[in-house]
Amino acid sequence: MHYRKAAPARTPESYVPSDEDLIAIVEKQPGLSLHQLAGLVWPDLPWSAGTLGADSATGKVREWAIIGNRTTKATAAEWLRDRLEDLVQRGQVHHAPRKRDEVDVLAGLAYVVPDAVHL
């Protein structure tokens, strides 16, 4: 009998999306909340921890590589927001109306790809 190895959990330690990855996700599903986007990017990482000390997008501060050899510290949710806000500044992504039914203000941030990017 052969057993398949389980795929490794997809968390920020195993996968960091590129700007192109994020744009493609938002383009396919316009208006996604940051909470929903984080769930697509890291399906094995809950938004918030159910128990003290458990890993989550909003609880654990991680070290992220940035330009050059520099790093920054942020939760996965903060890092994802910062990446999307950078794309907003560059005009590659726009804000969508905030999802007021989300669990918190950060989770409710929403994004769309402007029509000009479809060229």
pLDDT band at 118 (very low <50, low <70, confident <90, very high): very low
Q: What is the pLDDT of residue 93?
A: 96
Q: What is the distance between the alpha carbons of residues 87 and 39, in angstroms, rounded to a whole number?
A: 19
Whether 80 and 64 have beta carbons less than 8 Å apart is answered as: no
pLDDT of residue 2 exceeding 70, the answer is no
Distance CA 93, CA 84 (A): 7
Which pLDDT value is given to residue 119?
37
Burial of 27 (0-12, 13-18, 19+ CB in 10 A): middle
| pLDDT digit string, tens, across residues 20-30 | 999 999 999 99
Prediction pTM value = 0.86
Residue 114 is encoded by which pair of tokens? 């402007």
Please give the domain boundaries of the chain with CATH numbers for all domains.
19-43+55-118 (1.10.10)
The arithmetic mean of pLDDT across residues 3-28, rounded, is: 88
Tell which wins on pLDDT, 79 or 65: 79
Confidence of residue 49 (pLDDT cuts 50, 70, 90): confident
